[in-house]
Structure 1
Amino acid sequence: MSLYEEECLRALRQLNLLDTPPSECFDRITRMATQLFDLPVAAVSLTDEDRQWFKSRVGTDMRELPRHKSPCSGVSATSEVLVIEDFLESDCYRDSPQAQLGLRFYAGAPLVTRDGYTLGTMCVLGYEPRSITDNEIRTLQDLSAMVMAQVELQQALGRVDPATALPNSAQVSDDLADLSRDFPDGECFALLIELLDVVQLNTLTRVMGPGEVDELARMGSQHLQSQMTERDKLYSAGPCQFLFLRQTEDSDTIQQKALQLHDSLQSLNQLETMPAAVQPAIGIVPFVLGQTAAEDVLRLAHSSCQDARHWEKPAATYSRSLDVGCQRRFALLNDMQRALEVSDQLELVFQPRVALASGECVGAEALLRWQHPELGNVSPGELIPLVENTPQARGLTNWVMRTAIRQAAQWHHRGITLPISINVMASNLEEVGFTDELLQHLDSWNLPPSALELELTESALLSSRQRVHKQLKQLEASGIGIAIDDFGTGYSSLSYLMTIPAGAVKIDRAFMNWRKDKEHRKTLLKGIINLARDLGYRTVAEGCTTEEMLQTLRHFGCDEAQSFNLSKPLSPGAFEAWVAGTS
């Protein structure tokens, strides 16, 4: 094979056209060719190392023919139009694969890239000898140019990942649709192969730059391609992520293949040229062609891959039970905006905070409740982790703020001047104008800032972003109270307590679980209360379930308690009645 032919083959493989499913955009051109030339056979023939593979074909069931003595190979070698009026009269091609199939006529025009590499031919064939006119040759060259324009269009439309030259997830949809037409109800497996998790990928991008990420993706791609068989298809599914498809019914073989790929990728860490150490994880999804949408295949594969990471396994197979949970979370996120717009789904309930020394109510925490029309009651513990890093976080916190402030204003008007606490997500402090908007809500209801307290987790308060620190200082200056929520479980370093403008700490309920290590937990609890009190913080204990716990908290000097043992979260009317009854 000449150096030019080797370069042509490299260019062809980089385009990832070989062994891909049929595509209507190419089939349309071959159908047009048979009609224009009034011939029974036409093909887009690509020249591989030892075969002519048909990306598109009309009039034949053959998917490929040997390259040896094929006229398409001759066109690729010369990059010129070749016409054979009668195979039987040709000394060079009378024993070609096409002649052996009974064909007599051939005309082929080269498929040439902009860089000058010939990938194969656009050819028409017939079972009778035939001549060809100059006008027909120009028509065949036009059809060849249309094929190459389609190849370039697929590149331009983002069907190929620029870093790895692999087809991307957009191409997966088309290929699965084509496979479903050719092999309806065929069994297939998708493997999502991830070289690094999201945190590692972000760290690599920040420290080494996006160029090193691309280089890692290229090395991973080349290594994976060397592990593929002719039955396999590899795609880029994202930065340093790959999708591997194989048609098979043998799940055991796929499991073994996944483990083999995992171990093989880990061996790359021995190379000194690796930009970063890979930590591969693989998700496996079995599916039936034509019965599972491409986007669902990708979603389930990603989900399974994350399951593998979560359970610290090399690979994990899709589980229907786990997917039910994923679909529920998707439904909740999708329906959140509707819940914010209607009046009968979201509500706030209020759980009293009680002074342990006097037993009187000194405040309440506003807690969100969502009655989903189909999924029923959705707890904050399920909802907040879902929305806190999405665009929905702002709208949800805004709804809680407005509703809590309106309720507090109504109570103030009736003489109930208890401060109300609301939970704020870390992402809310990243919002431009968050504090200004909060103060506007208070002002519109003629409420003093002291009527409101914001509960923030340690992770939110420890952000290094300048915008967060500015918001915290503005909140402190306005007189709005800040409480550290779930205190004692977040960070080992307590130095941040010297700089955070908080007035209270809410001790995490984990310290009130005395079913095991009771004395150990009581010692920690006492230490936390003493530390907070010495630093000037008000202390609030959550989750105390027995009278013994309440007595212990009083003995340790804890200021307040909030728990079901004292009162469950109450509707506004029930809360008013409870306050009236206890006072």
Structure 2
Amino acid sequence: MSVTNEFVHGGVTLQALRAPDLCRDDVLSKFTHLVSKTLDVPSSFISVLDDNYQYIKAAHDFAVGESVRADSLCQFVVEDAVPLIVPDTLENHCFATNPFVIGAPFVRFYAGVPLITQEGHVLGTLCVVDTQPREFSAEKLATLTLLSQLVISFLEAWHSVGFTDLITGLPNRQQLIRDLQTLRVAGNQVSHRLVLIDCIDMPRAYELARSLGMAPVEGLLKDMATLLPLRLRPGPSEFLYTVATGRFALLTLTSSHFDAEWVAGRMEGVHADMGEGLSVDLTTHTGEAVFLPAEVSPQEVLRRAVSALHEAICRAVPFMSFSERNDERRTDDFTLVNDLATAVRHNHGLYLVYQPKICLKTGLPIGLEALIRWRHPNRGELSPAYFIPLAEQTSLLQEITEWVIEKTIGRLRRLQGQGIQLPITVNVSVRDFSHGDFAERLESKMTKARLPTNLLGIECLETERILESPAAIKGLEMLKLRGFDISLDDFGTGYSNISYLRRMPLDVIKLDRSIISGLATDTASRIITRSIISMLKELDYVVLAEGVENSETLEALKEFGCDQAQGFFHSRPLPEQELDSWLRWKMQN
């Protein structure tokens, strides 16, 4: 890998020291002040040197800043890695013509010791200087050496805190950014790859550790930091980092076989130990970005890799490479979510439509379903099938649910003022009614509006998630206990086991349009639909068919004993004013 030693080793680096850090340099300045006072020498400084320059990082009564290495008084200390004492620079042939000796600051005495890391790298020097010649005893040299060891201990502690993940011991995100910046500053034109590795379901890990404290989670992360090198076996050209809790990164050359697909394959089927006899199976997702360091900023490289990783997670696939097209779509989704948040919080652009439910015995409206719509200021009408899945990935979904409930309660009050008692159902996610106080808050809203709870129906889907969540089942039971009718939407798609449904406190089962779509033409569809309705009725459910679009389907549903129907045959979803007109017409007939 075409990099300098500045990030081949894991300790403090020249690149890290060259970068500005006010807090670090303030402490170093206090060190130089202490050195001068302790050794009774008027001036002192701390310098670092690379191949071309010397940089004064902190100084006491010494005005030189950056200089070329060839003019540096400290170059001999760094090259030989041993202390150097020059009692009188004018009498030393190496120093007599130095520009800092014959010109400002007119150094006549120099004593410097190397700053050596634990790995044996010489970063720079700690020096004392004077404008007058002087002797420097062995005792003072020992003190200066001891002080240099304190300086390097501070620098390594500073680096460890700032550039090393304290739990895993791997270089952290800040170090990755610095290493990428090092490549960029060097003008590196060799193609590199950054692979992000996500293999720990952190919410699950924290849930497992709730009763055991944080130690098992930290043990899990340490175990992963040990497992990754063992599985991947990175060579001298591959560098591992911890970039977030439970998320790791691998920096390598594009010519290496260490790509996202290979890493995901190597991590397949592994598990990590949490201690206390607990282990967690790991599902690995990886995302990669290929880049030329000289042409792409470190932040953009990391962003591209994150974009690819999140695409892999969302698609439930092991690996993804960065794609401009996918990235643009995700950026567009992000913008749309922000617009949606504005629409909800400022009540702008969102509105409800209501689709009537018809009693198949009387032909009269028996209820309404509230459906959200969004008229975007730039994109026009947007289907909830487009924006609700985006909201589900954020905390915004709860705000939308609250908005829909408030508007629906307002509609119920207006219907009541017209002498109409039609219940309205609203769609509520598992996440919403899993909150322990959801049913209580909903009852409070209805009480405040002076409405009976049975006028507001709760419609839910995601059967599998409900059955897997004790909190969701309890949430439904609390709603049922307070008098809210509960419907299960889209029965007949996906997870539709009738025996499992008996675990849920349901009143109404809605048959998905896919079940009834062939009633008018297909004998098998009629047999299946009749059997399903018969079983649901024997279990004392109210059965509602959605997507009814023709009279043949309607007549078959009546014959099979279905209770209610909704669909375009009776009415499309209606805005507020059209609903009022439709209800007046329907009630009069």
Deviation digits for residues 499-556 of structure 1 (CA, Å, limit 9, x no counterpart): 42221011223324549x9555544433321221111111112223444433332232
The code of the aligned residue for 2:20 comes to E
Aligned pairs (5 A) from 1:96-107: 107=112
Structure-1-length-normalised TM-score = 0.73
| Structure 1 residue corresponding to 2:20, chosen from 18, 21, 24 | 24
How far apart are 1:323 and its partner, in Å? 1.6
The residue number in structure 1 matching 2:160 is: 155
2:326 is equivalent to residue 330 of structure 1:
no
| TM-score, normalising length: structure 2 | 0.73
**Closer/same/farther in 2, CA of residues 403 and 312 from structure 1, 3 Å limit:** closer
Matched residue, 1:339 = 343
Contact 1:29-1:143 at 8 Å conserved across structures = no
Distance in 2, matches of 1:16 and 1:263, equals 34
Paired position in structure 2 for 1:359: 363
Residue 217 of structure 2 is aligned to residue 210 of structure 1: yes
Native 8 Å contact 2:358 2:565 kept in 1: yes
Q: Deviations over 1:235-262 (max 9, x none)?
A: 212344222234x6x5xx3676444444
Superimposed CA distance per residue, residues 151-191 of structure 1 (whole angstroms, 9 cap, x where no aligned partner): 3234335x422232122224444544555444399865321
Unpaired runs of at least 5, structure 2: 37-41, 58-64, 71-75, 93-109
Counterpart of 1:123 in structure 2 is 125
Q: Say if 1:284 and 1:545 are closer, same or farther in 2 by CA, change over 3 A.
A: farther
Q: d(CA) in 1 for partners of 2:547 and 2:307?
A: 34
Q: Distance in 2 between matches of 1:151 and 1:74?
A: 18
The whole-number CA distance in structure 1 between the counterparts of 2:570 and 2:296 is 51
| Corresponding letter in the other structure for 2:480 | E
Partner AA of 1:236 in structure 2: T
- The change in CA–CA distance for 1:258 and 1:460 in structure 2 (over 3 A counts) is closer
Cα separation, 2, equivalents of 1:429 and 1:303: 31
Distance 2:77 2:49 in 1: 14
DSSP 3-state at the match of 2:487: strand
Mapped partners of 2:190, 2:67: distance in 1 = 25
Which structure 2 residues correspond to residues 230-241 of structure 1 after superposition, within 5 A? Answer: 230=237, 232-241=238-247
**CA shift in 2, pair 1:308/1:472, >3 Å:** closer
State yes or no: 1:372 paired with 2:379: no
Alignment pair present for 1:229 and 2:236 = yes
Separation of aligned partners in 2, 1:297 and 1:235: 15
CA 1:120–1:290 in 2, change beyond 3 Å: closer, same or farther?
Answer: closer
In the alignment, is the contact (CA less than 8 A) between 1:205 and 1:213 conserved in 2? Answer: no
Give 1:321's aligned residue.
325
Q: Secondary structure at the match of 2:457?
A: strand
1:192 alignment partner, one of 196, 199, 210: 196
SS of the residue 1:152 aligns to: helix
**Are the aligned partners of 1:110 and 1:121 in contact in 2 as well (CA < 8 Å)?**
yes
Tell whether the 8 Å contact from 1:419 to 1:453 is kept in structure 2 after alignment.
Answer: yes
- Cα offsets for 1:295-335 (capped at 9, x unmatched): 55444323323444566765321112212222233223334
Name stretches of at least 5 consecutive residues in structure 1 with no aligned partner. 1-8, 47-53, 63-68, 76-80, 91-104
Note the alpha carbon deviations across 1:458-513, whole angstroms, 9 max, x for none: 246435435x4544333223222111122233535433433422210112233245
Indicate if the aligned counterparts of 1:453 and 1:481 stay in contact, CA closer than 8 A. yes
Alignment of 1:381 onto 2:385 = yes
Equivalent residue, structure 1, for 2:73: none
Tell me the equivalent position of 1:94.
none
The CA distance in 2 between the partners of 1:480 and 1:312, in whole Å, is 36
**CA–CA separation in structure 1 for the residues paired with 2:146 and 2:232:** 34
Residue of 505, 510, 524 corresponding to 1:506: 510
Partner in structure 2 of residue 403 of structure 1: 407
Q: Which secondary structure state, in structure 2, belongs to the residue aligned with residue 214 of structure 1?
A: helix
Encode CA deviations 1:187-222: one digit per residue, 9 max, x unaligned. 653211233566886788689942552243122343
Within the alignment, does 1:465 sit opposite 2:470 as a pair?
Answer: yes
Q: Distance in 2 between matches of 1:524 and 1:216?
A: 53
Residue of structure 1 in register with 2:546 after alignment: 542
* Distance in 1 separating the partners of 2:311 and 2:244: 18
CA distance in 2 between counterparts of 1:267 and 1:430 reads 32
Amino acid at match of 1:123: T
For residue 368 of structure 2, give the secondary structure of its aligned residue in structure 1: strand
Matched with 1:581 is: 585
Alpha-carbon distance in structure 2 between the residues aligned to 1:501 and 1:20: 61
2: CA distance, partners of 1:530 / 1:341: 45
Matched residue, 1:167: 171
Query: Equivalent residue of 1:576, what SS?
Result: helix
Secondary structure at 1:368 match in 2: strand
CA RMSD, 1 decimal: 5.0
Match of 2:226 in 1: 219
Q: Distance in 2 between matches of 1:212 and 1:520?
A: 57
Per mean C-alpha deviation after superposition, the further-off stretch among 281-290 and 439-448 is 281-290
Q: What secondary structure, in the 3-state scheme, does the structure 2 residue paired with 1:24 have? A: coil
Letter in 2 for 1:151: E
What SS class does the counterpart of residue 362 from structure 2 fall into?
Answer: coil
Aligned partner of residue 385 in structure 1, secondary structure: helix
CA distance in structure 2 between the aligned counterparts of 1:375 and 1:450, rounded to whole angstroms: 37
Find out whether 1:244 has 2:250 as its counterpart.
yes
1:368-424 per-residue CA deviation (whole Å, 9 max, x = no partner) reads 112233444343223333334643233221111111000111011112221101011
Of 559, 562, 572, the residue aligned with 1:558 is 562
Distance 2:468 2:512 in 1: 20
Does the CA-based 8 Å contact 1:485-1:506 persist in structure 2?
yes
User: Contact between 2:549 and 2:567, CA under 8 Å: does it hold in 1?
Assistant: yes
CA 538–275 in structure 1, closer or farther in 2 if over 3 Å, else same? closer
